[in-house]
Structure 1
Amino acid sequence: MAQKKESLSVSQLDELHTAGAGYDVLRYISLPEILGKESNTLLYFMGRNLARKLDIKAIEDIYYIFDKLGWGNLELIKEKRKELVFHLMADAVVQRLNASFETEFRLEAGFLAEAIQMINERECECVEAINHKIHQIEFTVIYTE
């Protein structure tokens, strides 16, 4: 018998408390080792799956979630007919980019793709580009339909 899918309200994230270092160790050291060569692809789909678990109704919910999860401050920079461009900046992003281990933003890209798809009801994918000079991540959400 299948279980009923239950969404978490965005406000339930207020119940989470963490300093962040444990998360970073799991995310950037343990998970890539366990996931192997497919790590980036699996993290992207983990992000998409996470978005499906939350009751996301508006773009402001996405901003709140990024901030609450310690991913950084997300901002919509450009809106075109077939794509949206977001920038992610924060002290946490700077620290991740300056870390001695390899960092990536595939989980966030997958989450953003699914969240935008849920809000706009249009299929989409997301790619990210890292600007190391200004410690900024650019996410481009591309509508695929």
Structure 2
Amino acid sequence: MTSTNPHPHGQMTYGLLFDVTDDVSRDHDDRLPPLSEHLVRVADSKDTFVGHPVEPDLRRVNAREAARHILACTDLAHVHYDDPLQALALLDPLPRDNRLRLLRAATERSWMPYPTARPRPRAVSGCPCPCTSGDFCGGCGHAGCGGR
């Protein structure tokens, strides 16, 4: 998968957790499916990400990563487990509202914003040139101008 985002898997995991959280928040039935099955089902439904195909193996990686985020938001973070999806079975008895709070916390924990370039602030005060925001103005002659 080619992307300009240095954290594409993190973004995919966030999207997966967001969608599962949305499903649980809209489903008012107290008989929710097992959390691992829910994650895998939603992950398997995501065959593209930002217009790029997502291989089935990567979908499973994202489901496991989402499970790790969920487990990290619990008292089970210190428990050893071979497969984080299997460890989620310990959380299946949780009531719907508790599961929803846990999913929201995991979704927030997994958020990785796209990096943005920030201009370096310049020490020039009062200069209307772009050099005051870190851009090149061509050299305005003011002391500290980035265009010199």
TM-score (normalised: structure 2): 0.29
Over alpha carbons, which structure has the higher Rg?
A: 2
Greater share of residues in strand: 1
Instruction: Give TM-score scaled by structure 1 length.
Output: 0.29
